[in-house]
Structure 1
Amino acid sequence: MFTHTAIANLNALELMIYNYVIKNKDKVMYMTIRELADAADVSTTTVMRFCKKMGCDGYSEFRIRFKLSIEQEIHQPVNFGVGEIVSFFNSINNKVFEELINQAVIHIANADRIVFVGAGSSGSLGKYGARFFSNVGKFSNYIDDPYYPVSTDTFKNSVAIILSVSGETQEILRLASQFSLHACKVISITNSETCSLARMADFNLSYHMPQTVVSGRHNITTQVPVIYILEAIAHRLAKIHLSK
Structure 2
Amino acid sequence: MSFITLDDNIFLRLRGIRNSLTPVERTIEEYVFANKDQIPHLSVKGLAQKSHTSDASVLRFCKTLGYRGYRDFIVAVSAALGSADKTESEYTDIQPGDDLQTIITNVSRNNRKSIEDTMSVIDRDAIGRAVELLRKASRIDFYGIGASGLVCMDAQQKFTRIGKTCFAYTDGHSQLTAASILKSGDVAVLISNSGDTLDILNTLEVAKESKATIIAITRYVKSELANEADLVLNFSTPEITIRSGAMGSRIAMLNIVDILFTGVASANYKNVKALLTKTHNVLAGKHKHLNWDKG
Task: Provide the C-alpha distance between the structure 1 equivalents of 2:115 and 2:31, rounded to a whole number of angstroms.
Answer: 14
* CA deviation vs aligned residue, 1:191-232 (integer Å, no higher than 9, x gap): 2464212232222222354545669xxx73732332222111
The percentage of counterpart residues that share the same residue type is 20
Residues 1:43 and 1:10: Cα distance change in structure 2 (over 3 Å): farther
Q: Which residue of 1 aligns with 2:149?
A: 123
Structure with greater proportional helix content: 2
Q: Which residue of 2 aligns with 1:241?
A: 268
Residues 1:63 and 1:107: Cα distance change in structure 2 (over 3 Å): closer
How far is the alpha carbon of 1:87 from its aligned partner? 3.4
Cα RMSD after superposing both structures: 4.3
Kindly name which structure, 1 or 2, has the bigger radius of gyration based on alpha carbons. 2
How far is the alpha carbon of 1:176 from its aligned partner? 1.4
Residues 1:237 and 1:52: Cα distance change in structure 2 (over 3 Å): closer
User: Normalising by the residue count of structure 1, what TM-score does the alignment of the two structures yield?
Assistant: 0.70
Query: For structure 1, which runs of at least 5 residues remain unmatched after alignment?
Result: none
Q: Which residue of 2 aligns with 1:69?
A: 83
Amino acid across the alignment from 2:126: L
Amino acid across the alignment from 2:71: D
Q: Which residue of 1 aligns with 2:71?
A: 57
Partner of residue 186 from structure 2, selected from 158, 168, 175? 158
* CA deviation vs aligned residue, 1:127-158 (integer Å, no higher than 9, x gap): 11111222344342200011224268843342
Task: Provide the C-alpha distance between the structure 2 equivalents of 1:191 and 1:179, rounded to a whole number of angstroms.
Answer: 20
SS of 1:220's equivalent?
Answer: helix
Q: Is the 8 A contact 1:179 1:186 kept in 2?
A: yes
Residues 1:36 and 1:64: Cα distance change in structure 2 (over 3 Å): farther
Q: Which residue of 1 aligns with 2:211?
A: 183
Partner of residue 226 from structure 2, selected from 193, 198, 202? 198
Residues 1:151 and 1:133: Cα distance change in structure 2 (over 3 Å): closer
Q: Which residue of 2 aligns with 1:174?
A: 202
* CA deviation vs aligned residue, 1:41-62 (integer Å, no higher than 9, x gap): x877655544883986288766
* CA deviation vs aligned residue, 1:153-205 (integer Å, no higher than 9, x gap): 84334211001122222221111111222232221112246421223222222
Q: Is the 8 A contact 2:142 2:191 kept in 1?
A: yes
- Paired residues for 1:109-120 under 5 Å: 109-120=135-146
Aligned residue-pair number: 230
